[in-house]
Structure 1
Amino acid sequence: MKEKVSRLASSSSGIAVSMAVMNVSTYGFVIIASPLLGTEGFGALAASLNVMLVISVGALGLQATAARRISAEPDHVAQIQRSILRVTSVAAMSLGLVMLVLSPLIQRLLNLDQIGAAVIIAICAVPMTITGGLAGILQGERRWAPLGMLYVASGVPRLLIGGAFIAWRPTEFWSLVGVGVSFWAPVLVGLWALRHDRLAGPVSARHSGRSMFKESVLNGQALFAFFALSSVDIILARNVMSEHDAGLYAGGLILTKAMLFLPQFVVIVAFPSMATGGERRKALTVSLGLVATLGAVGTAASWFLSGIAIHFVGGAEYVEVEPKLWIFAVLGTLLSMIQLLVYSVLARQGTGSVYLVWLALATLVGVGLTTDSVMGLATTVVIVDLCLLAVLLAVAAWFLRDDAPVAERSTSALV
Structure 2
Amino acid sequence: MLLLLAGATLCRGAVYARRVTSTVDRPQPEDTDSSGPGGSAVLRLLRTSAGIAIAMAVMNVGTYAFQMVAARLLGPSEYGAVAGMMALLMVLSVVQLGLQATAARRIAATPEDVAAIEQTILTTTWRAALVLGAVALLASPLVWWLLRLDGLLSAVLLGLCVVPVTVMGGQAGVLQGERRWLPLSLVYLSVGLPRVLIGGGALLVSATEASAMAGVLVASWIPVAIGSWTLRRRTHRAIVTEHDRDVRRDVRRETYSSSLALLAFVALSNLDVVVARNVLDDHQAGLYAGGLIVTKAVLFLPQFAVVILFPSMSTAGESRSAVMRGLAFLSGLGAACVAGTYLLSGLALVFIGGNDYEDVQSRLWLFAVLGGLLSVLQLLVYAGLAKRGRWTKYLVTLGVLALVGLGSLADSLTRLAVTVAVIDVVVVVLLVALQVFRGKKGTETLAAAG
Question: Shorter-chain-normalised TM-score: which range?
Answer: over 0.9
Question: Measured at CA, do residues 281 and 403 of structure 1 come closer, stay the same or move farther in structure 2, by a change above 3 Å?
Answer: farther
Match of 2:185 among 131, 143, 148: 148
4+ residue stretches of structure 1 with deviation over 6 A? none
Instruction: Describe the SS at the equivalent of 2:440.
Output: coil
Deviations 1:29-77 (A, max 9, x none): 1111111111111000000000011122110101111111100111221
Alignment-mate amino acid for residue 77 of structure 1: V
**In the alignment, residue 58 of structure 1 is paired with which amino acid?**
V
The counterpart of 2:384, out of the listed 345, 349, 357, is 345
* Contact persistence 2:119–2:236 (CA under 8 A): no
8 Å CA contact 2:113, 2:244 repeated in 1: no
The answer for the alignment partner of 1:379 in structure 2 is 418
Deviation of the 1:2 alpha carbon: 5.4
Looking at structure 1, the residues matched to 354 and 230 of structure 2 have their Cα atoms a distance apart, in angstroms, of: 40
* Residues 1:211 and 1:31: Cα distance change in structure 2 (over 3 Å): same
Aligned equivalent of 2:268: 229
Shift in Å at residue 14 of structure 1? 0.5
- 1:359 Cα deviation after fit: 0.8
Matched residue, 1:108: 145
Partner deviation per Cα, 1:196-233 (whole Å, 9 max, x = no partner): 13566987346544332221111111101011011111
Structure 2 counterpart of 1:307, from 331, 343, 346: 346
- Which residue of structure 2 aligns with residue 125 of structure 1? 162
Alignment partner of 1:183: what SS?
A: helix
Partner Cα distance (1:207, 1:79) in 2? 10
Partner of 1:389: 428
Q: Deviations over 1:319-349 (max 9, x none)?
A: 1100001000000000110011001111110
Q: Distance in 2 between matches of 1:2 and 1:299?
A: 40
**Deviation readout 1:273-313 (Å, 9 max, x if unpaired):** 11111111000000111111111111110001111111111
CA pair 261-203 structure 1, distance change in 2 beyond 3 A: farther
Instruction: Kindly state the Cα deviation for residue 142 of structure 1 after the two structures are TM-superposed.
Output: 0.2
Measured after TM superposition, the shift of residue 28 of structure 1 is 1.4
Moved more, 388-397 or 42-51: 388-397
**2:71 is matched with which residue: 4, 23, 34?**
34
CA contact (8 A) 2:261 2:392 kept: no
Amino acid in the other structure paired with 1:32: V
What letter corresponds to residue 421 of structure 2 in structure 1? V
Residue 260 in structure 1 maps to residue 299 in structure 2: yes
Partner Cα separation in structure 1 for residue 444 and residue 111 of structure 2: 18
Distance 1:14 1:156 in 2: 16
Identify the match of residue 362 of structure 1 among 401, 412, 418.
401
Task: Provide the residue aligned with 1:168 in structure 2.
Answer: 205
Aligned partners of 1:31 and 1:312 also within 8 Å = yes
For 1:400, what is the secondary structure of its paired residue? helix
Aligned-residue offset at 1:402: 6.2
| Alignment of structure 1 residues 242-253 onto 2, 5 Å | 242-253=281-292
Find the counterpart in structure 2 of residue 413 from structure 1.
none
In structure 2, distance between residues paired with 1:142 and 1:204: 25
2:52: which partner in 1?
A: 15
> Which piece of structure 1 moves more, 108-117 or 370-379?
108-117
Choose the corresponding residue for 2:89, options 52, 55, 61: 52
Name which of structure 1's ranges 206-215 and 114-123 shifts more when overlaid on structure 2.
206-215
Equivalent residue for 1:84, pick from 121, 139, 159: 121
Whether the aligned pair in 1 keeps the contact of 2:58 and 2:192 (CA below 8 Å) is yes
Is the Cα contact below 8 Å between 1:277 and 1:405 reproduced in 2?
no
Name structure 1 gaps, 5 residues minimum.
411-415
* Per-residue deviation, 1:103: 1.2
CA contact (8 A) 2:272 2:420 kept: yes
User: Which moves more between the two structures, 38-47 or 96-105?
Assistant: 96-105
Q: How many angstroms apart in 2 are the aligned matches of 1:140 and 1:129?
A: 17
- Deviations 1:330-388 (Å, cap 9, x if unpaired)? 00000110011001111110112211111111111111111111101001000110111
Distance apart, 1:137 and its partner CA: 0.2
* 1:57-104 Cα shifts (integer Å, max 9, x gaps): 110101111111100111221221111111111101111111111111
Q: Deviations over 1:246-285 (max 9, x none)?
A: 0000000000000110111001001101111111100000
The TM-score normalised by the length of structure 1 is: 0.95
- Separation in structure 1 between the aligned mates of residue 230 and residue 445 of structure 2, nearest angstrom: 37
Provide the C-alpha distance between the structure 2 equivalents of 1:295 and 1:336, rounded to a whole number of angstroms: 8
Preserved contact between residue 60 and residue 301 of structure 2 (Cα < 8 Å): yes
Q: What secondary structure is seen at the aligned counterpart in 2 of 1:211?
A: helix
Partner Cα distance (1:145, 1:404) in 2: 37
> What SS does the aligned partner of 1:401 have?
helix
Q: Compare 99-108 and 374-383 and name the one that shifted more.
A: 99-108
The number of equivalent residue pairs is 409
> Which moved further from structure 2: 398-407 or 23-32?
398-407
Partner of 2:195: 158
**Partner Cα separation in structure 1 for residue 71 and residue 127 of structure 2:** 36
- In structure 2, the residue matched to 1:43 is 80
Q: For structure 2, which runs of at least 5 residues remain unmatched after alignment?
A: 1-37
Q: Is the 8 A contact 1:278 1:403 kept in 2?
A: no
Q: How many angstroms apart in 1 are the aligned matches of 2:128 and 2:399?
A: 28
Q: Is the 8 A contact 2:72 2:352 kept in 1?
A: no
Contact 1:360 1:384 in 2 (8 A): yes
Kept after mapping to 2: 8 A contact 1:83/1:207? no
2:61 to 21, 24, 29: 24
Residue equivalent to 2:259: 220
Counterpart of 2:327, as a letter, is L
Is the Cα contact below 8 Å between 2:113 and 2:247 reproduced in 1?
no
The aligned amino acid for 1:130 is: V
